[in-house]
Amino acid sequence: MSAVERVVVVVPARDEELLLGRCLARVRRAADRLAAARAAAGEPPVRVGVVVALDSCTDGSAGIAAAAGAVVGAGAGGTAGGARAAAATTADAVRGTWIASTDADSAVPAHWLTGHVAAAERGAELLLGTVEPDPRDLPAAVLSRWHARHRLEEDHPHAHAANLGVRADVYAACGGFPALPHGEESALAAAARARGHVVVATDRVRVRTSGRATGRVPHGFAGYLRALAAGTGPMTAGDGG
């Protein structure tokens, strides 16, 4: 185990001006909670930075990110994986740096970063957190189908880029997020497991994400929800986003 000295929160965004402000406000709340918890425990502070990678944006996302104090950069390759990887390039590949990934349409809980850092300092090298759709966005029947296909528990089988953390040196050793249109989180987790790194799947830092039916990438979370609504969703979800 080794201490976490810095956290880099990476957020890809494609035309997310309606939800990005909420996302960044929740990340800031989580950073404030982490700072308070470290101070109360007499532990060294953890520096937290936020990087928003703009993926082919044509709206006001850049201004929203800048106003929130985030570092704003451009995504690469026009894919979710490429944008996420571009944001992660600001994280030095050292063991004391933790990369925390979420999505612009998601809202992290107040204890999100506290939980990520605690897991890392207990020995997790890659953390797979759970994600649930906002129940306000979905008909009850669709929400029920979603819950029937997901295990919101410890040692769950899912991978969601909207709630993933990884030590920066492990991230670099595994090749980072591949420039895929979807599934970059599953590819990174598979690479980490193949190299023998400690991968922890937990429900302790659950993130709520948009349940919208129209997403920003093909085959992503919104597409999966549309399939559930149509009654054609697979029994196990493709965990994109």
Q: Note whether residue 128 is domain-resident.
A: yes
- Checking if the pLDDT of 188 tops 50, the result is yes
Q: Note whether residue 1 is domain-resident.
A: no
- Checking if the pLDDT of 41 tops 60, the result is yes
pLDDT in the model for residue 82:
87
The Cα–Cα gap between 140 and 150 comes to: 16
What average pLDDT is seen over the chain?
A: 89
Q: Contact 221/102 with Cβ under 8 angstroms?
A: no
pLDDT in the model for residue 191:
98
Bridge partners (DSSP) of residue 99 are 8, 166
Q: What confidence tens digit (pLDDT) does each residue in 222-239 have?
A: 666 666 666 755 544 444
Place 76 in a pLDDT band, splitting at 50, 70 and 90. low
* Closest C-alpha among 49, 50, 61 to residue 19: 61
Which structural domain range is residue 31 located in?
6-229
- Checking if the pLDDT of 240 tops 60, the result is no
Q: Note whether residue 239 is domain-resident.
A: no
Q: Note whether residue 235 is domain-resident.
A: no
Kindly state the average pLDDT of the residues 163-182: 94
Least confident of 42-51, 60-69, 137-146, 216-225: 216-225
Q: Could you tell me what percent of the chain has a pLDDT over 90? A: 66
pLDDT in the model for residue 205:
98
Q: Note whether residue 237 is domain-resident.
A: no
Three-state DSSP class for residue 101:
strand
Q: What is the CATH number of the domain that holds 140?
A: 3.90.550.10
Least confident of 59-68, 165-174, 219-228: 219-228
Q: What confidence tens digit (pLDDT) does each residue in 86-131 have?
A: 889 888 888 899 999 999 999 999 999 999 999 999 999 999 999 9
pLDDT in the model for residue 140:
87
Domain total for the chain? 1
pTM score, whole prediction:
0.89
Q: Note whether residue 238 is domain-resident.
A: no
- Checking if the pLDDT of 149 tops 90, the result is no
Bridge partners (DSSP) of residue 51 are 10, 71
pLDDT greater at residue 192 or residue 138 = 192
Kindly state the average pLDDT of the residues 127-143: 90
Q: Note whether residue 241 is domain-resident.
A: no
Q: Note whether residue 121 is domain-resident.
A: yes
Kindly state the average pLDDT of the residues 174-194: 93
Residues 6+ apart with CB under 8 A from 151: 157, 158
